[in-house]
Chain A
């Protein structure tokens, strides 16, 4: 099993890393005056790439929870917000109120606080998850929805701590010793390094005992319990892990923006995260970066093109087309983009008669029927 993982996934991970590193390097060294946004025809800027990386971390976690464990969360932006706020509060307030002077200014303080945020968010998810995960299907989705909305509203309430609706400002940049991870070109490597680490963790989890247990829980909780899988325990673990990932992404977001406000963590954000996971393909770790990327690129393109065509500024008119695209993807490719394109390619190759019949399983992996 381990060897199988190594061969199939290692190639993917290495290829993915090399491509991303090359893209990042282009913007640092600027060969022939090329920059990142020029390479992609000004559609994808470095800023967009960093945001895609941050959300990839959240969506990979959401994918573990929704795609593998089968537990729908419509409140994932809540955990994302907790990470951003814990990180933002812990790294600014201590300095402002001169608690622990001498330590909070050191370079490793924000890093430590990222870890503390992950522990706090994970602990919160554990406490909440125990009772909430007793619920099933739509009911669970609604409970998590409520949780997300509560966190979002409360984030805008306590001006002394969270900065109210205006939010916190002055979140420090991250640095290693005296090497600051800024400008963006440096931050890009941090974000995508973290994203790839999260993808690797997810890939190895999925192919392990835990991954099989989660899939068993997804298929039928009763059957899983009957074969000795402690369904409740595994579901809570999946929720905690996805919350920890979301918290990490939130912290990275806070240090990227330098500020945290409640607006990016609304109910709409939770919905968008689910959409990204669904578009990429539930139960497919590799679907996460592509789902996030596709949604981002489509929305940016729509926004710029519609503004040019209709000659209007601001507004959210692009959301009309965005909504229609979302509905069409859900109707015509309910398995998500990755699974559907794999099916499409195989369908074509099979017609040419040079491939063994294969079947794409509901979890996105390809099963060989020829053996």
Chain B
């Protein structure tokens, strides 16, 4: 029996069983709250919206981790910067039609956040590049504190609003399917995730710079031997992570109310998503993000919304303990000696 569950088929049987048990538990808890099928659809859709943001952030974590071995705690702050810079530029009295103004604001915010990301790497990670990864991780914590306090100084402690992309106003289009509600902004978020993934694929697979980045992730010394500068790749990875984070923050802006400390929880959740994907794989990060969003939203929906974050971190610990290589597989890393 034990042997069976160690084997490949046994593991699939076990995983399927667990998934069905989880669904059954979910339905049982939901029936106690008198949830109808459309409620589950709604919870799943909302979960996929949040999950897309987690996926964008998880991509940022994966890019930085693979190239530098650093867990970049500042990832959440890039999301905040993206949203805040975008709405600030959007509020400037530029003589442009509203739609163009929003587009200009979005592009300018992404560019600025990318530059900030590169600057962060140059100023903090690069001078300490010979330190162990734990020291570098603590440095990113310091960066997080500084950026958040800077945002508080620049934007104050009040939440802001960003107009919805479709209507350019605070009210968004709402699609109704029976009693299921879908905001137009949700479609923008999903569309953005898809576009970003396609662009990222082309960048990593079909440009010299992207290939150099991948080479650096696979073997830094080998990459150096063929003439790739790891320092520059480290900067590129931070810039890329900052851009991904900023894009996430901008598309999320209209559905939340951007505030200076929004990055903290988002950053931690994005990290959980990255761990679910194994921390080293791009598809894993996307699947992890979506799965985390849906799972935590369903779990919170059938029990109590205040426990939403608890579920995310319970998932984190469970994944680390039972499947450190991530849900998509690959070889385990977490219990090997990493130096």
Chain A residues with a Cβ under 8 A of chain B: 72, 131-132, 134-139, 141-143, 145-147, 149-150, 153-154, 157, 220-222, 267, 271, 274-275, 278, 315-320, 322-324, 326-327, 330-331, 334
B264 within 8 A of A: yes
Centre residue among B146, B148, B306, B336 by max chain A CB count within 10 A: B146
A332 to B333, CA, bound (A): 31
Pair A132/B317 contact, Cβ less than 8 Å? yes
Contact partner, B264, options A138, A267, A275, A319, Cβ 8 Å: A267
Contact partner, B271, options A142, A221, A327, Cβ 8 Å: A142
The 3 residue pairs across chains A and B that have the minimum distance between CB atoms: A323-B146, A319-B149, A323-B145
B143 within 8 A of A: yes
Pair B148/A134 contact, Cβ less than 8 Å? no
Residues of A within 8 A of B133 (CB): 137-138
Contact partner, A150, options B128, B275, B310, Cβ 8 Å: B310
A37 to B223, CA, bound (A): 58
Residues of A within 8 A of B152 (CB): 315-317, 319
Residues of A within 8 A of B256 (CB): none
User: What's the nearest-Cβ distance from chain B to residue A326, in Å?
Assistant: 4
Pair B271/A72 contact, Cβ less than 8 Å? no
A154-B310, A267-B264 are contacts. A136–B145 as well, Cβ < 8 Å?
A: no
Pair A331/B124 contact, Cβ less than 8 Å? yes
B182 within 8 A of A: no
Pair A317/B138 contact, Cβ less than 8 Å? no
Which residues of B in the span 29-71 have a Cβ within 8 Å of any Cβ on A? 71
B27 within 8 A of A: no
B337 within 8 A of A: yes
Pair B309/A153 contact, Cβ less than 8 Å? yes
B108 within 8 A of A: no
Residues of A within 8 A of B307 (CB): 153, 157
Contact partner, A327, options B146, B148, B264, B321, Cβ 8 Å: B146
Pair A137/B316 contact, Cβ less than 8 Å? no
* Smallest Cβ-Cβ distance to A128: which chain B residue: B317
Pair B275/A331 contact, Cβ less than 8 Å? no
Pair B142/A149 contact, Cβ less than 8 Å? no
Contact partner, B316, options A146, A267, A271, A326, Cβ 8 Å: A146
Contact partner, A135, options B137, B141, B268, B320, Cβ 8 Å: B320
Pair A267/B268 contact, Cβ less than 8 Å? yes
Pair A327/B139 contact, Cβ less than 8 Å? yes
Pair B142/A135 contact, Cβ less than 8 Å? no
A10 to B333, CA, bound (A): 44
Residues of B within 8 A of A147 (CB): 313, 317
User: What's the nearest-Cβ distance from chain B to residue A229, in Å?
Assistant: 15
Pair B138/A274 contact, Cβ less than 8 Å? yes
Residues of B within 8 A of A275 (CB): 138, 141-142
* Smallest Cβ-Cβ distance to B147: which chain A residue: A323
Residues of A within 8 A of B268 (CB): 145, 149, 267
Pair B324/A139 contact, Cβ less than 8 Å? yes
Since A142-B316, A320-B153, A330-B128 are in contact, a sample of 13 more A-B pairs with Cβ atoms closer than 8 Å, ordered by chain A residue number, is A135-B334, A136-B335, A139-B334, A141-B134, A145-B268, A149-B268, A157-B307, A275-B138, A316-B149, A320-B146, A323-B147, A326-B145, A331-B139
Centre residue among A136, A146, A154 by max chain B CB count within 10 A: A146
Pair A150/B314 contact, Cβ less than 8 Å? yes
Pair A331/B337 contact, Cβ less than 8 Å? no
A235 to B172, CA, bound (A): 54
User: What's the nearest-Cβ distance from chain B to residue A235, in Å?
Assistant: 13
B150 within 8 A of A: yes
Proximity string of chain B (259-271) to chain A, C-beta cutoff 8 Å, 1 when within and 0 when not: 0000010001001
Pair B334/A323 contact, Cβ less than 8 Å? no
User: What's the nearest-Cβ distance from chain A to residue B14, in Å?
Assistant: 18
Pair A141/B137 contact, Cβ less than 8 Å? yes
A220 to B127, CA, bound (A): 27
Pair B317/A334 contact, Cβ less than 8 Å? no
Residues of A within 8 A of B134 (CB): 72, 137-138, 141
User: What's the nearest-Cβ distance from chain B to residue A44, in Å?
Assistant: 23
Residues of B within 8 A of A334 (CB): 128, 131-132, 135
Residues of B within 8 A of A315 (CB): 152-153, 157
Pair B71/A142 contact, Cβ less than 8 Å? yes
* Smallest Cβ-Cβ distance to B264: which chain A residue: A267
B1 within 8 A of A: no
Pair B149/A320 contact, Cβ less than 8 Å? yes
Residues of B within 8 A of A322 (CB): 145-146, 149
B338 within 8 A of A: yes
Residues of B within 8 A of A316 (CB): 149, 152
Pair B131/A330 contact, Cβ less than 8 Å? yes
User: What's the nearest-Cβ distance from chain B to residue A77, in Å?
Assistant: 14
User: What's the nearest-Cβ distance from chain A to residue B296, in Å?
Assistant: 12
A134-B335, A149-B313 are contacts. A142–B320 as well, Cβ < 8 Å?
A: yes
User: What's the nearest-Cβ distance from chain A to residue B163, in Å?
Assistant: 28
Pair A153/B317 contact, Cβ less than 8 Å? no
Pair A319/B131 contact, Cβ less than 8 Å? no
* Smallest Cβ-Cβ distance to B322: which chain A residue: A131
Contact partner, B320, options A139, A278, A320, A326, Cβ 8 Å: A139
Pair A143/B316 contact, Cβ less than 8 Å? yes
A316 to B261, CA, bound (A): 12
* Smallest Cβ-Cβ distance to B70: which chain A residue: A138
Proximity string of chain B (273-288) to chain A, C-beta cutoff 8 Å, 1 when within and 0 when not: 0010000000000000
A143-B320, A319-B148 are contacts. A136–B338 as well, Cβ < 8 Å?
A: yes
User: What's the nearest-Cβ distance from chain A to residue B147, in Å?
Assistant: 8
User: What's the nearest-Cβ distance from chain A to residue B138, in Å?
Assistant: 5
Pair B306/A157 contact, Cβ less than 8 Å? yes
Contact partner, A149, options B135, B137, B157, B309, Cβ 8 Å: B309
A23 to B319, CA, bound (A): 50
Pair A317/B153 contact, Cβ less than 8 Å? yes
Which residues of B in the span 294-318 have a Cβ within 8 Å of any Cβ on A? 306-307, 309-310, 313-314, 316-317
A334 to B139, CA, bound (A): 10
Residues of A within 8 A of B336 (CB): 136
